[in-house]
Structure 1
């Protein structure tokens, strides 16, 4: 029997959680109800009470009530719920997880959900699901369902939505519990891609798949880079072909698709093989053209579509980017190879295209070459980044690095 864990603030939304619990049980699933409320007594009896959650977070519930500090209480309950959720999963008592709540409940619940492995069904029903969900979802595979009305009573609208949520998580949990994926003995390779580097990535992926690798492509849109590096940290990824490092430009200049200051560092910290290129470092990403910050007016821009405006990186910015990449790669503990295409780093940066700027590209290349330590393998090719030969040479190099890495026993891939 599959087990669904349901968590929420039972002092304010206990009746709603009891409603979904009854529906889940009717689908032949077991339920573990966890109370993450603080201030009041639960409206329905939990299987794991708020006292246990608070204690797992390092503070007794009486202290939280006495302090009457909502922010502190949420932090403690998030830590406690996360520890309990992890343990339930490790003990085989969690096949899916559901939570109902507003911004506060969603913050606590999704903090715990993000600690679970990718593939474990996670469903958050909340009023915040129609807005910016990035703080709640992060790099995980949480499914957000908009509650339409506030989660405050069972009525003709909320009843339908909560019924759908309960049935959805129950069926996902049963599928997760009963369907066992076949074990693959393929090393997992991650590749970063943007629309302007797609031909390169598709060619390299095809080459690597023929060699027996499993290839996963991540969009270099900020959250994609973070998700990729989170999976590296969790041990899923064996090697990385970082074709598209454009997120570094957004971080430096202030675009909307930054992956944070630590981008391009996780593979080096873990020592896994990486082949890196300069894909789409000619651009910084913004929203609709009328949202472009005023201090960028006068810069070379390109309206990619009504919702995306691209801005060309300057000579000075490219010089800085070269130094940033070198600094990160010089500290890598594993094998690294850097590939430089001399005839354009994106589909719109080659000769005749809107972002063609040989001076800026040369500043990037010169800065990178001057700043890289001598032990870093550097390959310079007189091609465009989307040239098939460039893509295949990068794939071959990654195969070489991984094969050597595996031979010397640094990576014990089963």
Structure 2
């Protein structure tokens, strides 16, 4: 009997040798294997545990329909839907503990959907010819996906590609054995922030919330962190969110690649999770370090944080627009929301004498927030900086009131 079972997914009509090699490596290390074929035209050398017909049926379609479409993209989207549905159901049934998926661009497209269909904490490994490629948009990546380049493996086995395949086999089995999925022992408060040099409220809030019996999960709001935050929110994993680091939403508005997708600030509300929101770092727009600053941002305040990320600033009208966008998203929530406005600043670099100090921009945002944060959105102002104790105290005051009236669960 093996201790953990790995779902091996791929097009067994064209990648039979490579997929079977990974399966053999997993079983050689004492793991179990469950196979899923996502081919359309051909067949595997040996039957898979879950055939291509079962995959297409899980999508409410058939292999015949995929073939008759006459379009490879349409066909593979049928298989992607079916593989995602089937994998999610198999995991709920306890059939496997981790997944490894192999593919070129077609297989990777499918793999990204399958990984997003599985909960956070399920080991997800993708062996791909386009791993880490810029053709993969950030919103397609699940929060805890792992990728390795399928180097030298476009067609057939060789010693180069075996190095990647064997690493993936060992990694996914090791992860399945080692993983500690998110606990449900204590209710979790989800919080967004940035590195403590910019936003510091987490240092004050985390211990205070833990003293109240809550666990605190803090997500680094630089794209992938926000995606993990949104993924868990969509699953209803938080009892409350303190969404105080809004740079990813600002980046989305500005068209920056450093964002976490179009669903930012929507999932908690749709899941019925109470939200506290504040405009931490909402004055800046971030760019990848390798990008040139767009011309319309070149005359703005500028901060180069490191070689990976650099920031320019929103002007007053753009900050008004961002306030309107927050209100628009919060208005869709199915649970209480409360916006906290720190009147003396929203991140460490906007203090007087620093590079992002912009009292006119802050005043414009505050003025717009007063106009648009209307019922049912709660609204409070704090005559303090977001990094001051007074801001944390206000957040805790609202939190305690929500606990007292049953808005936030205690168990």
Give the 3 Å change call, closer, same or farther, for CA 301–78 of structure 1 in structure 2: same
1:392 is matched with 393
Q: Summarize the alignment of residues 12-411 of structure 1 with structure 2, pairs less than 5 Å apart.
A: 12-132=14-134, 133-134=136-137, 138-175=141-178, 184-195=184-195, 197-288=198-289, 291-374=292-375, 376-406=377-407
Give the 3 Å change call, closer, same or farther, for CA 346–211 of structure 1 in structure 2: same
Contact 1:273–1:405 (Cα < 8 Å) also in 2: no
Contact 1:59–1:76 (Cα < 8 Å) also in 2: yes
Displacement of 1:130:
3.6
Which whole-Å CA distance do the structure 2 matches of 1:296 and 1:183 have between them?
43
Displacement of 1:245:
1.6
Contact 1:5–1:98 (Cα < 8 Å) also in 2: yes
Contact 1:241–1:395 (Cα < 8 Å) also in 2: no
Contact 1:273–1:335 (Cα < 8 Å) also in 2: yes
CA-atom RMSD, angstroms? 2.3
Contact 2:7–2:33 (Cα < 8 Å) also in 1: yes
The CA deviation string for residues 53-99 of structure 1, in whole angstroms up to 9 with x for no partner, is 12222332133234331101110001111122122112211111111
Which whole-Å CA distance do the structure 2 matches of 1:221 and 1:374 have between them?
30
Give the 3 Å change call, closer, same or farther, for CA 258–120 of structure 1 in structure 2: closer
Give the 3 Å change call, closer, same or farther, for CA 288–116 of structure 1 in structure 2: closer
Partner of 1:165: helix, strand, or coil?
helix
Partner of 2:371: helix, strand, or coil?
helix
Give the 3 Å change call, closer, same or farther, for CA 28–289 of structure 1 in structure 2: closer
Displacement of 1:413:
6.2
Which whole-Å CA distance do the structure 1 matches of 2:257 and 2:339 have between them?
26
TM-score (norm 1): 0.91
TM-score (norm 2): 0.91
Q: Gaps spanning 5+ residues in structure 2: where?
A: none
Partner of 1:243: helix, strand, or coil?
strand
